[in-house]
Amino acid sequence: MLKAVILIGGPQKGTRFRPLSLDTPKPLFPIAGFPLIQHHIEACVKLEECKEILIIGSYTTNTMAQFVNDMQKEYHVIIRYLQEFTPLGTGGGLYHFRDQVRAGNPSAFFLLNGDVCADFPLKELWNFHAEKANALVTIMGTEATRQQSVHYGCMVREGSTKSVTHYVEKPNSYVSTLINCGVYVCSLQVFHTMADSFQKKQDGFYSGNGQTSPHPGYMSFEQDVLMQLAGTNKLYAMQVTNWWSQVKTAGSAIYANRHYLELHRDRMSKDKPCTILPDVFVHPTAVVDSTAVIGPNVSIGAGVTIKAGVRIKESIVLNNATVHEHALVMYSVVGQEASVGEWSRVEGTPSDPDPNKPFAKMDNTPLFNTDGRLNPSITILGAGVVVPAETILLNSIVLPHKHLTRSFKHEIIL
Ligand code: GDD
Ligand code: GTP
């Protein structure tokens, strides 16, 4: 039997995903029609041996209850949410709930960062791990550019055995282009290593020596486990070429949307309510005028109304929004219950990886550049925003419930 643990952080995390995370917690933000971490769950349940999925985070149980119920109904495995009493880091929550993970004595468990998206090759990862007799952790790794690699966990492997000899979390200078994808298989014995690290941290915390963790139970899986295991022949990395990306900024939601739509192409409804340029997801409850043209790479949520002559591409339209006659929406996210007026134009700029650089990932560009100006990115309309007729909105972010009265470009509208 196998299990999976998904780390989702809490309300203090994911600040770069604002304002999309103001109404919906980032792990539940819909990408290609499904909450971000439902894609993780789908990947796990595809593996018959995977019998239980534990979601660990510091969001309240209430915030997660509906989602967990829905998932439990949809997939026939045990899915539970475990709330940390305070953010305990990528390792602390896992260690705190170790008895829940160990219960039933699984052969191993997957550990997945909730803020990545990928064509998760879990079966291959599990087979790779199972072949290594002494492996405690196997990391899914991928190639990045030299320049971007330093924003990730970087590792060096031994050529023939693939054991990780050197691991540095977000190094200051170049270490390796092989990066940690935040997807792992762990044997239960990893909790012994965690116990040692935990003990050391406790000692440090109470003696006031060096470590300044926010909480004595705080542990980083990367610093306190992976770095300890490097060079001991207990840490391995499997390099993959599958599509993989982080979901940090709002712009990455559009990028992830495109790839998940492609991945789930076979599941898309064959009914075409209007002219559809694939790949497009339209929720069955959306009302779409037959003269609209939608796609490529668009997700339309539940209860959305799309009027005559509308053009939408490379965008996500969230539940119950309305796009009025002849409006255009491009590289944008239209929030829940937002309204785009007739003949209006809502347009953003894509922030895709550089197609001319092999292995390039998305740059998680900060909101503002060094001159204090907004960096061009996707346009976001927060929940309940009203864009009047015949206005243009370019590379702008509109916070929830604003009723605009004119056109804007490169602005945050508070
Ligand atoms: N439950 C819980 N509690 N989850 C947490 C906590 C916490 O206190 N802190 C972070 N997480 C979750 C986040 O929600 C996210 O899904 C994941 O753990 C990673 O956390 P970050 O702290 O944001 O790390 P990162 O994304 O910058 O870097 C990690 O992922 C990269 C790949 O995406 C590292 O593992 C890197 O080495 C790796 O390259
Ligand atoms: P996550 O998005 O879940 O990691 O949480 P967060 O948005 O609170 O970000 P985090 O605490 O990881 O980082 C705070 C700030 O540091 C971000 O807003 C960025 O400006 C910066 N930062 C962190 N990691 C990176 C990175 O990999 N690249 C760049 N350019 N900036 C980063």
Nearest ligand, CA 17: 2
107 occurs within a structural domain = yes
d(CA 111, CA 97): 13
Residues 241, 324: one domain? Answer: no
Residues 282, 242: one domain? Answer: no
d(CA 146, CA 143): 9
Nearest ligand, CA 144: 1
132 occurs within a structural domain = yes
Atom 24 in ligand 2: which residue has the minimum CA distance?
Answer: 151
Nearest ligand, CA 87: 1
DSSP H or E segment with residue 347: strand 345-347
Residues 306, 376: one domain? Answer: yes
Residues 175, 64: one domain? Answer: yes
CA 113–ligand 1 middle distance (angstroms): 6
User: Ligand 2 site: residues with CB under 6 angstroms?
Assistant: 9, 13-16, 115, 151, 248, 364, 366
Closest CA to 92 of 219, 255, 234, 259: 219
- Closest atom of ligand 1 to CA, residue 114: 16
pLDDT band at residue 209, thresholds of 50, 70 and 90? low
Q: What is the CATH number of the domain that holds 385?
A: 2.160.10.10
Atom 35 in ligand 1: which residue has the minimum CA distance?
Answer: 182
378 near 349, Cβ under 8 Å? yes
Residues 232, 272: one domain? Answer: no
Q: What is the CATH number of the domain that holds 161?
A: 3.90.550.10
Residues 304, 203: one domain? Answer: no
- Closest atom of ligand 2 to CA, residue 365: 30
Residue pLDDT, tens place only, 278-298: 999 999 999 999 999 999 999
Q: What is the pLDDT of residue 374?
A: 82
Q: What is the pLDDT of residue 271?
A: 84
- Closest atom of ligand 2 to CA, residue 15: 7
Close Cβ partners of 120 (under 8 Å, ≥ 6 residues apart): 40, 43, 112, 183, 242
Last residue of a domain, one of 185, 213, 246: 246
Closest CA to 279 of 32, 38, 29: 32
258 occurs within a structural domain = no
80 occurs within a structural domain = yes
Atom 12 in ligand 1: which residue has the minimum CA distance?
Answer: 9
For residue 287, give its domain range. 268-409
In this predicted structure, the answer to whether residue 218 has a pLDDT above a threshold of 90 is yes
Ligand 2 pocket test target in 16, 26, 252 with most atoms within 8 Å of CB: 16
Residues 285, 199: one domain? Answer: no
Residues 51, 104: one domain? Answer: yes
257 occurs within a structural domain = no
Atom 29 in ligand 1: which residue has the minimum CA distance?
Answer: 182
Residue pLDDT, tens place only, 94-123: 999 999 999 999 999 999 999 999 999 999
256 occurs within a structural domain = no
CA 218–ligand 1 middle distance (angstroms): 13
Q: Number of structural domains, the chain?
A: 2
Nearest ligand, CA 113: 1
CB atoms within 10 A of CB 95: 21
279 occurs within a structural domain = yes
Atom 21 in ligand 1: which residue has the minimum CA distance?
Answer: 90
User: Ligand 1 site: residues with CB under 6 angstroms?
Assistant: 7-9, 13, 56-58, 84, 87-90, 93, 113-116, 152-153, 169, 179-182, 222, 246
- Closest atom of ligand 2 to CA, residue 170: 27
CA 114–ligand 1 middle distance (angstroms): 8
In this predicted structure, the answer to whether residue 15 has a pLDDT above a threshold of 90 is no
Residue pLDDT, tens place only, 53-82: 999 999 999 999 999 999 999 998 999 999
- Looking at this predicted complex, what is its ipTM? 0.84
Residues 10, 132: one domain? Answer: yes
Q: Per-residue pLDDT averaged across 141-156, rounded?
A: 97
Residues 56, 180: one domain? Answer: yes
State the angle between helix axes of 89-96 and 190-207 in degrees (0 to 180), rounded to the nearest 10.
Answer: 110
- Closest atom of ligand 1 to CA, residue 94: 1
Residues 380, 323: one domain? Answer: yes
What are the phi and psi torsion angles at 407 (to 5°)?
A: -85, 155
Closest CA to 219 of 110, 107, 86, 108: 86
Residue pLDDT, tens place only, 313-360: 999 999 999 999 999 999 999 999 999 999 999 999 998 888 888 889
CA 151–ligand 2 middle distance (angstroms): 9
Ligand 1 pocket test target in 113, 183, 213 with most atoms within 8 Å of CB: 113
259 occurs within a structural domain = no
Residues 206, 93: one domain? Answer: yes
Nearest ligand, CA 252: 2
